[in-house]
Amino acid sequence: MNRGLIIDVETTGLDTRLDEIVELAAVPFEYDALRDRLVAIPGAYVGLREPSVRIGRQATAVHGITAAMVAGTALDDDLVAHLLTQADFLVAHNAQFDFGFVTRAYPLASRRPWLCSLRHIDWARHGHFVKNLSALAAGHRIAVPRAHRAAGDCQTLLHLLACAGTDGRSYCAELLTHLPATPPLQSRTPIRPPRPRHSRGNA
């Protein structure tokens, strides 16, 4: 089986060089290619983090996280590193955004293949022309526990990847066709990040 890790971050702003993570969630899963089946496995993590820079008002308007909510908090770096190490590949919706923040905080994440569920799935071919996560969830009748919060977005994406497209295959199966040819567990060299996106609005 292939082991993946869905990852999502909420941040102080959009600048991957200057802004910082305020919330990170990671949901591990396994994909059985023979059965085309995706299954969540134990070990999901979500944590808040007090940044060293101010949380922008526009950022708080999106995710609802305030300075008071994160005061005195920190991510469990050892656990996050363990989850990254155990994964064969990482998945995010609009992965360019998450890649920039996660690899800055955890450089070892750059040594795992990243897959983008926004770009690596041909949503238009499946009849979905608005590709943000909330719209895709609504189009598949997936209840969104809490939009634009890391844990809720990870769970939503997990359920979405398990759905079948118009070709009868799961979206996860289509996503995995974009894995590099070298088996992930043997590939430990840095990879290029997904193609840049102009805004966080695709999440």
pLDDT at position 148: 87
Does the pLDDT at position 160 exceed 70? yes
Using the predicted structure, report yes or no on whether residue 182 has a pLDDT greater than 70. no
Q: Is there a contact between 175 and 164 (Cβ–Cβ < 8 Å)?
A: no
Q: Where are the domains of the chain?
A: 2-180
Residue in 56, 26, 36 with CA at minimum distance from that of residue 154: 26
For strand 21-32 and strand 45-48, is the pairing parallel, antiparallel, or unpaired?
antiparallel
Residue 63 token pair:
């995710």
Which is the CATH superfamily of the domain at 2-180? Answer: Ribonuclease H-like superfamily/Ribonuclease H (3.30.420.10)
The reported pTM is 0.88
User: How many C-beta atoms lie closer than 10 Å to residue 189's C-beta?
Assistant: 7
pLDDT > 90 in the chain, percent = 84
Does the structure show a pLDDT above 80 at 15? yes
pLDDT of residue 181: 67
Mean pLDDT of 56-72: 97
Q: Percent of the chain having pLDDT more than 70?
A: 89
Average pLDDT of the chain is 90
69-120, pLDDT tens digit by residue?
999 999 999 999 999 999 999 999 999 999 999 999 999 999 999 999 999 9
Cα–Cα distance between 114 and 192 in angstroms, integer? 9
pLDDT band at 180 (very low <50, low <70, confident <90, very high): confident
Q: What angle do CA 141, 147, 150 make, to 5 degrees?
A: 120
Residue 202 scores a pLDDT above 60: no
Instruction: Check whether 138 has a pLDDT greater than 70.
Output: yes
Position 189 scores a pLDDT of 36
CA distance 98 to 4: 15
pLDDT at position 190 is 37
Model confidence at 203: pLDDT above 90? no
Cβ atoms of 37 and 53 within 8 Å: the answer is no
CA distances from 65 to 25, 41, 147, 180, 181 (A): 14, 27, 12, 36, 39
What pLDDT shows up at residue 187? 37
What is the pLDDT at residue 21?
98
Residue 73 DSSP symbol? -
Inform me whether the pLDDT recorded for 9 exceeds 90.
yes
